Structure 1
Amino acid sequence: MPRVADALSLARSQGRAALVPYVMVDRARTRRLRSVVEAALEAGASALELGFPFSDPIADGPILQATADRALSNGTDWTDLVESLEIASALLPTAVMSYANPFWRHGLDRSLPSIARAGASGLIVPDLSLEEA
């Protein structure tokens, strides 16, 4: 599977916008994830942004905050992220979007390698400072 950067470069070279839909990881919806990603692919998606819920999503609007709350109330955890990433990245280049805290809490020595093995080809951490990046 090509990397997210490659998918975006291809869209640019073809003179078209890249469609990159966002999907929140949610344990209650994992079994439907493949069909959601397939629909995104059929609609012309170049890549996918897979969000991992966090309890204090300060950079998100009310819809994503509510979605994160629902996912967390469904018991979504790191294993759900890895499973969802394996499903999604088999179909589309996939970037993970999460706040820094879940990575620190899970342990950087475990979290980053686990999402890389699961197929992540990009990472968005909106609350990471430039010094920490």
Structure 2
Amino acid sequence: MKTLTTYLSKKAEKQKLFVPYIMAGAQGLDALPDEINMLAKNGATAIEIGVPFSDPVADGPIIQEAGLRALAKKVTLKKIIQLLQQFDSPVPLIFMGYSNSFFHYGLKNLAEDLANTDVKGFIIPDLPYEHRDLVLPTFDEADLALLPLISLTSPLERIRTLLAEAEGFVYAVTINGTTGTGKNYRENLDEHLALITEESKIPVLAGFGVSERTHVERFNDCCDGVVVGSKIVQTLQDKGVKETGKLVNSLTNPLKQASAS
């Protein structure tokens, strides 16, 4: 079992998990260490680090705009890794990005350059399960987890296939469409998430559209935690690190209370 999977599974035995997402370099790359420390201080179990890309097919407008800001600041995957090589994160980091960025960098180079960082996993939305062998040999050797996404439209047989070799945590997508706030959830979503959680041997987290305390409390009841992205990205842009810390603390409070009960 890979390091990230072991870490998250042990955490999930004691508390609900909270994984925030931020776009590397949206506020300037030099702001990234402070952002990571703020998230960890306010309850993040692990942190997704977005890699800016010109065609982010899974991202809604808020994260797309954050990526464009980062690209305008000349932020690249290489620069992100160079910074993380000099920074000790309080919690594991997970790169969330697109195939082109990682293949262009070179998988062998990527694994070697991440060896002395806290990046322990990847979410690659445009890499189909059937093509995972393009990265798995390199990732397996480097102890890097490849996290699966499970959509609302996945039938039970497909869910079981995806879960069979799942690593890190299972990203259970809560809406049909891209990331973002203000989404409407379908009526049987809770049952869908509960089914995935029951079938899975590793933690299942709900993500896409999760932006309020009520969302966190709801999904806390049927799976192992949540991923929050667009709300955090927007708050960082509008109000800065301090106010974002307050937001994250307010969202993690239900998780802390659930673990104590």
Give the TM-score, by structure 1 length.
0.85
Greater Rg by CA:
2
Give, in angstroms, the shift of residue 9 of structure 1: 1.4
Q: Is the 8 A contact 2:23 2:51 kept in 1?
A: yes
Amino-acid identity (%) = 32
Q: Is the 8 A contact 2:94 2:122 kept in 1?
A: yes
Deviations 1:37-78 (A, max 9, x none): 221112111111111011000011111111111111110112
Q: How many residues align?
A: 131
The CA distance in 1 between the partners of 2:114 and 2:33, in whole Å, is 18
Q: Is the 8 A contact 1:26 1:80 kept in 2?
A: no
CA RMSD in angstroms, aligned pairs only: 2.2
> Which residue in 2 is equivalent to 1:65?
64
Correspondences of 1:1-133 after superposition (within 5 Å): 3-14=3-14, 16-26=15-25, 29-86=28-85, 90-133=89-132
Give, in angstroms, the shift of residue 31 of structure 1: 2.1
Give the TM-score, by structure 2 length.
0.46
- For structure 1, list consecutive stretches of 5 or more residues without a partner in the other structure: none
- For structure 2, list consecutive stretches of 5 or more residues without a partner in the other structure: 133-261
Give, in angstroms, the shift of residue 84 of structure 1: 4.0
One-letter code of the match for 2:11? A
Deviations 1:80-111 (A, max 9, x none): 22034336653211111110001121222222
One-letter code of the match for 2:5? A
